Amino acid sequence: MPDASLSEAIREAYASALSDVVIFHTLELRHPDFVDEQGAPTAIRVVRDRVDLLAHLESSAPLHPGQEVRFVAMAFDLNLPAVDSMPVPEVEITLDNVTREVMRHLDAAVQSQQMIEVTYRPYLSNDLSGPQMDPPLTLVLSFVEANPLRITARARMVDIGNKAFPGRTYTAKEFPGLTR
């Protein structure tokens, strides 16, 4: 079954494997304790490539919506969950050659009870005006293990059992015909 959140352009790129179009896989990690030197909220943004990537976020992004942001080049791997009878599928994420800044942010988050959110966004090299998945896949980290060279984490969806289906809540304000 096709993924309706993927744009037509990225579906075509997956299907035809064009040599002149590169798919950039990005991750964004967010937590209330991730702040920059001025104390403003920030995120850890990485791209699986050898050079940094400047790309625009979607207009519904939780941090810096619609703005052009920098994704720092970093080796990472994202293993999708196996098809089995697990009640909540988990994704394994590995970040290699972590910087001191990333470790500083993770150390700050350890002291908090709030979860670290992870957002996966694919971009196409010929269209950096926004991610090719709308809405992007957002998960929360359930386990993190870090050392100076590598971070290994497991992420899962939050409360998938209570998520609205088909993803839209019909309210009387938006649809007045629902009230009598």
Is 95's pLDDT higher than 80? yes
Across the range 97-121, mean pLDDT stands at 84
Average pLDDT, the chain: 83
DSSP codes of every residue in the chain: ---TTB-HHHHHHHHH--TT--EEEEEEEEEEEEE-TTS-EEEEEEESSSS-EEEEPPTT-SSSTT-EEEEEE--EEEEPPPSSS-SS-EEEEEEES--HHHHHHHHHHHTSSSPPEEEEEEEETTB-SS-SBSSPEEEEEEEEEE-SSEEEEEEE-SSGGGS-SSS----TTT-GGG--
Question: Shortest CA distance to 119 belongs to which of 83, 76, 163, 155?
Answer: 155
Is 121's pLDDT higher than 70? yes
pLDDT-based confidence at residue 135 (cuts at 50, 70, 90): confident
Of the listed ranges 9-13, 35-39, 122-126, the one predicted with least confidence: 9-13
Q: What is the pTM of this model?
A: 0.77
Is 12's pLDDT higher than 80? no
| Domain spans in the chain, listed from the N-terminal domain onward | 8-178
Across the range 38-66, mean pLDDT stands at 93
Is 123's pLDDT higher than 90? yes
Across the range 47-51, mean pLDDT stands at 93
Better pLDDT: 154 or 169: 154
Q: What is the distance of C-alpha 5 from the center of its chain?
A: 13
Distances (CA, A) of 5 to 8, 11, 121, 122, 167: 9, 10, 11, 11, 11
Is 162's pLDDT higher than 60? no
pLDDT-based confidence at residue 55 (cuts at 50, 70, 90): very high
Distance, CA of 77 to CA of 72 (rounded, Å): 15
